[in-house]
Amino acid sequence: MNKKGSINIALIILVVLLIVGAIWYYEANKESAFQMSLSHDTITTTSIQTTAASSTVPPSTSWLASIKRTSPEVVPVPSSVLISEKIRGKFAFIQGGDVWVADQDGNSQLQLTHAGSEGEVRDFTFSPNFQYLEYHIPWFGAYARGTINILDLNTNKVVFQVNGLTLYQFGTFKSMLGSQTPYVAFDSWINNNQFIYDAWGLDGPGGGANEYGKLLVDLQNGTTTVIQPQ
């Protein structure tokens, strides 16, 4: 065999050895690479699940639980776009003698009523469409004997107010009252624009309650009608 043939055989053997070595290296590291890939996918999946879980955790309800212990009423307001944005999706409650709204976690608090020297709000109700807020102040001065206010939440204006003194001066109803100034209290909403309130009196020193009658208020027409007794 000449020198040139020996070189060719040596090159062929070298190429074969390189190929065999490459195959052995691939087989030896294939399982390790697969395990590393699987571990990475597991970590990624866990991370995604953790992120998703954290994004669905509800806000803290500790404030809401606290305000329910101190406020006579706590009313959740629906999230409808037809409702005024300042109360939409919030919770209404009584704080410091007035009606407020806030988010579920107590943030973004907004005062809706300003009772001031008239006294403190005892209770409140919303009209069915949440445009109006009715709030009741039990006592205002020696003759008022309760005040009912209706606040338009779209204009932020009180559109109706009545108390015992103004009711006493109310036309036909006055003849039924004699010399007594009545106590007024909210009854119920009939629809988005109409509601009923009650007039009460006190019979003698014993203070026994006596209902004089019921009155229907129409906010749209601006009228008040005695419905009981007729």
Using pLDDT thresholds of 50, 70 and 90, give the confidence band for residue 8: low
More confident residue, 46 or 20: 20
* Core vs surface per residue 76-107: b (16+ CB within 10 A) or e: ebeeeeebbeebeebbbbbeeebbbbbeeebe
| pLDDT, position 182 | 75
pTM summary value: 0.68
pLDDT of 4 over the 60 cut: no
| pLDDT, position 206 | 43
- Interval 63-119: pLDDT, tens: 989 999 999 999 999 999 999 999 999 999 999 999 999 999 999 999 999 988 778
| pLDDT, position 42 | 45
Question: What is residue 148's three-state secondary structure?
Answer: strand
Q: What residues does each domain of the chain span?
A: 1-57, 62-228
- Interval 172-194: pLDDT, tens: 555 555 556 678 889 999 999 99
What DSSP assignment string belongs to 78-140?
Answer: P--TTS-TTTTT-EEEEETTEEEEE-TTS-S-EE----GGG----EEEE-TTSSEEEEEES--
Q: Which CATH class is domain 62-228?
A: mainly beta
- Interval 110-166: pLDDT, tens: 999 998 877 899 999 999 999 999 999 887 555 556 889 999 999 999 999 988 777
- Interval 34-66: pLDDT, tens: 454 444 444 344 443 433 333 444 445 689 899
